[in-house]
Every structure is written in C-alpha cells, then in structure tokens.
Amino acid sequence: MTVERILPTEEAYELLGLTREIAQGELAPQVARYEQKGEFPRDILRTIGRAGLLGLPYPEADGGGGQPYEVYLQVLEILASSWVAIAEAVSVHTLSCFPVAAFGTERQRKSLPEMLGGELLGAYCLSEPQGGSDAAALATRAVREVDEYVVTGTKAWITHGGRADFYNIFCRTGGPGPGGISCLLADAATGGLLPQAPERLMGLRSSAPAQIVLDGARIPADRLVGEEGGGFRIAMQALDAGRLGIAACAVGLAQAAVDYAAAYAKERTQFGKPIASFQGLGFMLADMATQVSAARALMLEAARLKDAGRPFSTEAAKAKLFATDVAMKVTTDAVQVLGGSGYVNDHPAERWFREAKVLQIVEGTNQIQRLVISRSLTRD
C-alpha cells in the first residue's frame, strides 16, 4: 500500500521517489540472500552513499543533503520496508557523523564531506560488555601521554565494527560518572584498535556487529571531539537523534509486515472465502495498520520539534518506545495472519519478527526510554 505523505518540498517528494526505486529495485531482491548469509553489504551501502542518502540531515555546506529530519526519517522508513539492516546502517552512520558535525574542530570537520558522502563509514562505540544501559559507568580508559591518548578497554555491539573507517570512542579520561567521559575519533587503522569476530545474531544478521578491543590504542590528542569530560553529553545528544532513526526503521518494518499480511489475507481462501473477509483477521489487520500510522505520527512529531530547534529528547524516547513495540506486535500478528506459512522462511514474515525484536533493545532498551520519559514527567 502506498502511504499518503505530506512533505515540505517538491525536492522531498523526488527524494522519496528515488529512495523507493532503490528500495524496490536494489534492496528487496537482495535482502533475503544477505540475511541468510549474515554478510555485511558494504558495496550496497556505497551505492546508498553515492545516491546521497548517507548524510541527508546535515547541511549542504558540510557535504550533507540539507534535508529536515522529518524527510530523512521517511527515507529511512522506506529503506527499512525493504531491508532493515540497511536502514539501520544508514541511521548508525548518520549518528556517527554527529559528534564531528556538531562539536568537531576545523581540522576534524575537514573529513565531513567524505563522511557524509559515505566514502568513510562510521561507528559509534558507547556500550561495553559489562553495561549498555548504564552508559555513564563505562570503563574504557584513556590516559593522556604527551600528544596522544592511550586507550584500553572493550566496546560491545558495535554496528560496523571491523568495517567502519572511523570510530567514535567514548572513554574515561577523568573520574567516575558522566563528567569523566570524553569522545575520541579514531581511524580504523589505529594500532591496537582490534575488531573481533562479528556477532551471530537472531535477526538483522547482515548488520553483523562486533566487539572492538582497545589494547593500548594510541589516538592523537587532536582527535578529542569537544572538551575533555564533555563526551557523555555528546553521546546522549547523538542518541536522542539516533533513537528517531530506530523509530523510522521500526515504522518501515511494521508497514512492510502490514502490507504483506493484508495482501496474503486477500488472496488466501478458507471456507470458500478470502481469509481477510473474516472479521477476526480483518480487524486484526485494521489494528495493525492503525498502530503503524500512530507510530509514524509520533515519530514525525518528534522530528518536527527537532527541525524547529525545540527540545525533542523526550518525544524521541516516546517515538522509539512506541514504534519499536508496535513493530514487535505487528510482525507477531503478521506471522499469525500467514498461519503456518508465517513460520517458514519462504515468506519474509518470520524474518521481520526476528528483526523487530532487536529494535526494542538497541540505542537504549525500551525500559531506558521509559526511564527517560518518566524522569521528564517528574523533573523540576
């Protein structure tokens, strides 16, 4: 089903048209093969970069696409409806460009055109094996030695780990707590920056994240992004926007599941009638479609606040929470609508079900989103 959209410019309609062509022409025919093999689609990401989709919400002066978040998220949604891991890769890359784009020195910012054009792929290294939710407790340590930081620790669940060209490393340069954290920008070639074997995932297998071991990695001191001790704030601000990207992945995935389930229910007959004509299934499809529309509306509301320069952190948490829970519910129901066919991999429903699960976990579990929202309700 084509989703009716109101976009701010003619250019945005064209951009979404181009994205649809890429999603249907390039992504849809390849997704099942890559997901089965768990292979990271670096070449496909290059194509996406050349189409200008890897730096959409950044200013054109920096080499970005100059698009509002509202438009960028709808691009992600369309990509996700064909291949969630690609949409997630675009979202994580976009998040990884944020520290330099927003806080980088003149020298660091010289890399922005290559980052935003997708020639350089980015990674964001906050989580560690002993903790992801309590980000302020991270243990990776960076010790200043003359004009270098010597970094030791392990980063976990790193999307693009081992494939990225640059890594935002959040590490401890000072005492305990959020105020002791800094952000360092490391090249992939940094000695002692050691990507481990990719994780074998339940879903989103082609995203193949990996741990990054930092074994006395020496990062030049001029690669400090922002101020020493300012890293936690940078990480949180990046995540506020990144969570909207995950919401968009969830909306795209859920929309694909609704469309597929509705088409199946229209064709499949039992008791002499299409199964969609049974109210038990027809109403289920209606609820699925309504939830996806509500998730999209929440996501766009948060994006418009961001585009207007208003605080949007809490609204982003609500959008991430709601959209990913909707994706889980809707993909579960899609499997149910397909019955036995939903449980075999001749159809994409079982894959979407597995993929939805991780969206409730990444970039802050949905329990963390509830924490962010509840704190905002009770803050003075």
Catalytic residues: 363
CB atoms within 10 A of CB 9: 11
Rounded-to-integer distance, Cα 17 and Cα 4, Å? 13
Rounded-to-integer distance, Cα 158 and Cα 88, Å? 12
Q: Which residue is nearest to ligand COS (CB)?
A: 364
CA–CA–CA angle 169, 174, 175 (5° rounding): 120
For 124, phi and psi rounded to 5 degrees? -125, 115
Closer CB to ligand COS, 66 or 229, in the complex: 229
Q: For residue 98, what are its two tokens?
A: 């944020």
Strands (E), the chain: 122-125, 141-145, 148-158, 166-172, 181-187, 193-198, 210-220, 224-225, 269-270, 273-274
Distance of CA 265 to the CA centre of its chain: 31
CB 232 within 8 A of CB 352: no
Helix axes 349-359 and 313-338, enclosed angle (nearest 10): 160
CB 231 within 8 A of CB 182: yes
Rounded-to-integer distance, Cα 202 and Cα 206, Å? 11
Closer CB to ligand COS, 57 or 63, in the complex: 57
CA–CA–CA angle 153, 155, 160 (5° rounding): 140
Closer CB to ligand COS, 57 or 231, in the complex: 231
Task: Give SS3 for 30.
Answer: coil
Q: Which residues pair with 298 in a beta bridge?
A: none
Task: Give SS3 for 172.
Answer: strand
Place of tokens 């039992």: 270
Closer CB to ligand COS, 90 or 262, in the complex: 90
Place of tokens 């961001």: 306
Place of tokens 């601000």: 237
Find the shortest distance in angstroms from Cβ 95 to ligand COS.
Answer: 8
Rounded-to-integer distance, Cα 321 and Cα 246, Å? 10
Find the shortest distance in angstroms from Cβ 38 to ligand COS.
Answer: 19
Find the shortest distance in angstroms from Cβ 128 to ligand COS.
Answer: 10
Find the shortest distance in angstroms from Cβ 367 to ligand COS.
Answer: 10
The H or E element spanning position 47 is: helix 42-50
Find the shortest distance in angstroms from Cβ 334 to ligand COS.
Answer: 26
Closer CB to ligand COS, 288 or 316, in the complex: 316
Closer CB to ligand COS, 171 or 239, in the complex: 239
Interface positions with ligand COS (CB under 6 A) = 126-127, 132-133, 135-136, 157, 178, 232-233, 236-237, 239-240, 313, 362-364, 368, 371-372
Find the shortest distance in angstroms from Cβ 130 to ligand COS.
Answer: 13
Find the shortest distance in angstroms from Cβ 153 to ligand COS.
Answer: 15
Closer CB to ligand COS, 12 or 225, in the complex: 225
Closer CB to ligand COS, 157 or 352, in the complex: 157
Q: For residue 92, what are its two tokens?
A: 């994580």
Cα dist from 377 to 243, 298, 304, whole Å: 19, 18, 21
Find the shortest distance in angstroms from Cβ 170 to ligand COS.
Answer: 9
